[in-house]
Structure 1
Amino acid sequence: MNKKIGMRISPKIGAEGMESVARFAASIGLDVIDVPVYNQEVKDVLENAGLEVGSIDGVGAVGSTKLLSADTKSREEAVNALKSQMTEISELGGKVMFMCLVPEDITMPRKKAFEIWKETFPTIVKHAEQENIYIALEGWPGPAPYYPTLGCTPEMLRAMFNEIPSKHFGINYDPSHLVRLGIDHLRVLSEFGDRINYCHGKDTEILYDEQYECGNITATFGVNYDFSEGSWRYTIPGQGDVDWAKVAVRLEKVGYQGPISIELEDHRYWGSLEKEQQGIIKAKEHLAIYFK
């Protein structure tokens, strides 16, 4: 298996500017960069560094989104903006649009948000098909205590894919979210392998001492680590509970052709440019064992 390895842009690395991001990525042997915005300038910077664009954040579709607003006019405006972005990135050769569908009102029950989604998304996916764009749903469950994100559990993914069978609407496979939710990250590959449109290299460590204190609910009096709610913490690949050897075998089996993109959210590699760079390097080294 010889997969491309990439990264999302973490804050301190990103603050250096896109040319610096590209130089760093190329210097450590990365192949792909995920970007929040894709235009001709960004495309030129990546190509000059010998890099490719990975996923592109959907405008207004990452985090709290008006695509799932209770207000019809707000939804229509959000849909039109997203369609325009799809057309623009398609013209530049972009292929994968990254989304995290958190309702505008985070207290909205997921069942209600799903009903709004059923009205909103068929036209979005039809446009994605026309522009040859592949949507990749992020599985972050959203903010505690509501966990309102659509597409973070097999139950919801199954319902969504039954409504929209098009493979232009799929998932960003990120095992870190599945591990923290207690969902079998390998079984997800078996059931939804043909809907994987992108893949994140991120891990989760289950913290058993902390789990004893607060169970699987959010800690009441604060957490011991960044990127944690108490009983777990996000980590770089290789320092958590994900079985990357088995993930690699199953991704190959289901025919996934895309990159593995590092998303750096780890207490140990955060807070300075040097720490972020070290985290990306260590993550890349671990992923390369299985994907290069």
Structure 2
Amino acid sequence: MAFQIGMRIPPKLGALGMEKLADWAKSAGIDVIDVPYYNEEVKNALENAGLAVGSIDGVGAVGLTNLLNADEAVRGEAVDALKNQISEISQVGGKTIFICLGPTDVTQSRSKSFDIWKETFPEIVKHAEEAGVYFALEGWPGPAPYYPTIGCTPEMLRAMFEAIPSNHFGLNYDPSHLVRLGIDYLRFLTEFGEKVNYCHGKDTEILTDELYNVGILPATFGAKYGFSEGSWRYTIPGHGAVEWEKVAVRLDKLGYNGPISIELEDHRYWGTLEKEQQGIIKAKENLERIFK
């Protein structure tokens, strides 16, 4: 099966504006764009360039979110905002919302966040079901040293999917996070593959010398590379530990029909427009040899 290749928008490319960005992405061979918000203007810009929308960032649900706030009133405002967004993007044809679930209070335990999520999210997912919208939960563990995000390990995901078994609450499969956490990214697809609603094309290189120096802990005196904490660094697909050929086989077997969307987090391709363009093109070339 041939997969479309997509991309999240890095900052310098995003500064071009949606129309210029879309034109460049089309010329570079990209099929799908992930967007921070979705409305008629964004939809028209993508369609005019011959592109499709991919995932849409959930308002208040990317990074650290008030959806898990211990204050019920604050949490309620975040719930209402997300439900409103679900309705709005559904009206313009959006289907997939990208979310991370880390609390704004990073010292809050994951078990407490889970208890709050368990109370908060059933009504959100029910609303998504009625609107025909799907969540793709990102497995980023959150910032050191607390790593407060829920949904980044099999232990937590089993509990979450037991609480909300709906396919409208699913996963963004990003093997880069699994590699850095020491979780078998292929076994993960065996267990949770049917929950995959979206897929990121991002890789992780294990830095063996730094692993010797600091182990799995964040480096005390700062990481040597960007997009790193010490013994690993995020990189474009094909430059890390992920065997993308095996990922492709499993996604094909599972019947996944979404894109493989490049998330550019690699210090070699960062900081200027030209570097971001180079990184997207190189990642696209590496992925399309396997997925096209």
* TM-score normalised by structure 2 residue count: 0.99
How far did residue 116 of structure 1 move?
0.3
Matches within 5 A, 1:87-236: 87-236=87-236
Aligned equivalents of 1:199, 1:267: Cα separation in 2: 21
Aligned counterparts of 2:48 and 2:286: Cα–Cα separation in 1? 27
Q: Counterparts of 1:278 and 1:20 in 2: how far apart (Å)? A: 17
Q: Tell me how far apart the structure 1 counterparts of residues 55 and 106 of structure 2 sit (CA, whole Å).
A: 25
Determine whether 1:22 maps to 2:28: no
2 CA distance for matches of 1:201 and 1:24? 19
Give the structure 2 partner of residue 290 of structure 1: 290
Whichever residue aligns with residue 122 of structure 1, its letter is P
**Alpha-carbon distance between aligned partners in 2 of 1:202 and 1:268, rounded to the nearest angstrom:** 14
- How far did 1:194 drift? 0.6
What SS is found at the alignment partner of 2:60?
Answer: strand
In the TM superposition, residue 29 of structure 1 has moved relative to its aligned partner by 1.1
Q: CA deviation at 1:68?
A: 0.2
Could you give the per-residue CA deviations for residues 12-63 of structure 1, whole angstroms, max 9, x where no partner exists? 1111111111011100111100000101100000000000000000000101
Q: SS at the partner of 1:189?
A: helix
Distance 2:127 2:4 in 1: 28
Aligned residues: 292
1:245-260 correspondence to structure 2 within 5 Å: 245-260=245-260
- Aligned partners of 2:271 and 2:105: how far apart in 1? 31
CA distance in 2, matches of 1:70, 1:136: 23
Matched, 1:35 2:35: yes
- Identical pairs, percent: 72
Give 2:151's aligned amino acid.
G
- The Cα offsets for residues 109-132 of structure 1, whole Å up to 9 and x where unpaired, read as 100100000000000000000000
**Aligned-partner Cα distance in 1 for 2:21–2:174:** 23
Is it true that 1:267 corresponds to 2:267 in the alignment?
yes
Residue ranges of structure 2 left out of the alignment (5+ in a row): none
Q: Distance in 2 between matches of 1:218 and 1:187?
A: 26
| Residues in 2 aligned to 1:106 and 1:39: alpha-carbon distance in whole angstroms | 32
AA aligned opposite 1:263: E
Structure 1 stretches of 4+ moved >3 Å: none
Amino acid at match of 2:166: S
Deviation at 1:249?
0.2
Mapped partners of 2:27, 2:147: distance in 1: 38
* CA distance in structure 2 between the partners assigned to 1:77 and 1:275 by the alignment: 39
What is the CA–CA distance in structure 1 between the aligned matches of 2:192 and 2:49, rounded to whole Å?
Answer: 34
